[in-house]
Chains A and B, each alone.
Chain A
Amino acid sequence: MKSRKEEPAEPAVVIKGLRKRFGRQVVLGGIDLAVMPGETMAVLGRSGTGKSVLLKLLIRLQEPDSGSILIQGQEICSLGFRELNEVRKKIGFLFQQAALYDSLTVEDNVAFPLVRHSQLSDEERRRRVRELLSSVGMDKDLKKLPSEISGGMQKRVGLARALALNPEILLFDEPTAGLDPITASEIDSLISKLKAERKITSIVVTHDIHGARSFADRVVVLNDGRILTTGTFAELQKSSDPLITRFLSEAA
């Protein structure tokens, strides 16, 4: 990973003073973060520290209470419905449970964004869907419904759907949660492969520190809605902060 001094490009994602609370519970208490283009950032933290909320705020699936979010230099908190959707087309989102549409087949799930946002003919679209699915190792079972495939396979299809519109930024919400270690490492390898092949900017929310080590350029550790630390794994390991050392040792 190049250091930021050598990288003159504008950050792909900039978050400033982001706050969110549900009722009296403060979930995010002022987050400042910048993710550079092509960088893969892992957001680590225990359950309930606001990791998933942070990810959803980035495409305004939830509305922040205050703060600003810049995607490729564009402030999205004040955008109207249409402009926001234009930004969303540049971002792929892999949900924790894959969130495939129950009533659509694997093929139609991946085609869903393409049908609505691309000018491809039926034949071109079918070909593109097959390409996407084979890039995640799911070139069979195209006609099956999500309920007929395993959790790991659903995650792969979810990833293919997230990649459908050639996004410049990918957001992963617990990509390996609930999967067996072998499937989890396959998903981690897919994230590494994407990083190498497509140079996509990725933010991966996870509590799987081993996986994060394999693909992340930089790590952010969240605790109680605040950033505890940001840095590479090497920097993290040198930290003397008791919370960080505990987090690393208990996750190891």
Chain B
Amino acid sequence: MWAPLTAVVVASAFPMGLRGLGLWRDSALAATVISAIEWFGELGIFCSKLVRAVMTRPFEARELFRQMDAMGAQSLPLVSLAGAATGVVLSLQTRDSLTRFGGKSLLPAVVVFSLIKETGPIITGLVLSGRVGAGIGAELGSMKVTEQIDAMEASAVDPHKFLVATRVLACILTLPLLTLAADFCGIFMGWVTSTLTEPISLHLFLHNGFKNVAFGDFLPPTFKTAVFGLIIGVIACFQGMRTRGGTEGVGRAATSSVVLSSLFLILADVVLVRLILVVFSS
């Protein structure tokens, strides 16, 4: 309620104020600033509709499971591959660095800590924002321009409930699970790479890697990906639902879904990492 109202007030007052001060000469800049403020205002309205859709019955469980399958199960190979590749690279790079500083025995711990605390979650988030963000943006965008979303509203079905809430929830629920898969593949391939260079048993690798890991190191970073899921779901659905201008608009919706969700995901990560450090540092 307040977000759109504030946005409208700021949108009208800010450029007028600058114009009054003689600072506002570039109309292209004015248009950009106003459209950015409008974007946040519209996002506020969209989120309020989403909250209402999530809180009210009936719940579209079937569509939720369909989306979880489409996002989760079908993203699993890509996320696993990304995690595995990250594990290989981490193992190769850190072995080289650690050998130079004489800390080669710390290799398993470095690989495990790096993957579970940051690399696994962020890689999963970025892979999903590409794969799922573009998919949602393009799908909802094409539904919008072919009047399928209008048809849903005409059938007295809230598209925010059927299309948006299910996709956002599916993103929130599947991202932590996919992060676990990325972590697992990364650690496993980290061991494979390590043992190919200098044989070490998996048991010893895992023992060395996990011996100083507390739940505080593992759970918060994994569950922060639920926030990444929220960001990807909300931004991609929002961009899809506000698509205008035919097939070109669908392309723009898909691209902007990926770009904006990746951007907000990285910004959120900065905040979340700091927050987790403050809360779980003890």
Contact = CB atoms under 8 A, between A and B. Distances in A.
Interface in B119-175: 142-143, 146-148, 150-158
Interface residues of B, number: 15
B156 A86 contact: yes
A143 interface: no
Nearest to A92: B154
A97 interface: yes
Interface string A55-66: 010010100000
B102 interface: no
A116 interface: yes
A61 B153 contact: yes
B58 interface: yes
Contacts of A85: 156, 158
A56 to B, nearest CB: 7
A96 interface: yes
A95 interface: yes
Contacts of A97: 146-147
A112 B150 contact: no
A71 B176 CA distance: 48
A165 B155 CA distance: 9
Nearest to B147: A99
Contacts of B151: 93, 95, 99-101, 158, 161
A97 B149 CA distance: 13
Contacts of B142: 102
A59 B151 CA distance: 11
A40 B70 CA distance: 44
B148 A56 contact: no
Interface in A177-192: none
A213 interface: no
A30 interface: no
B157 A56 contact: no
A88 B147 CA distance: 16
Contacts of B158: 81, 85
A158 B143 CA distance: 15
B156 A100 contact: no
Contact of B146 (A89, A93, A99): A99
Interface of B: 58, 142-143, 146-148, 150-158
Given A101-B148, A102-B143, 14 more contacts: A59-B153, A86-B156, A88-B154, A89-B156, A95-B147, A95-B151, A95-B154, A96-B147, A99-B151, A102-B146, A113-B156, A117-B155, A117-B156, A161-B155
Shortest beta-carbon contacts, A-B, top 9:
A99-B151, A85-B156, A99-B147, A93-B154, A88-B156, A113-B155, A95-B147, A89-B156, A61-B150
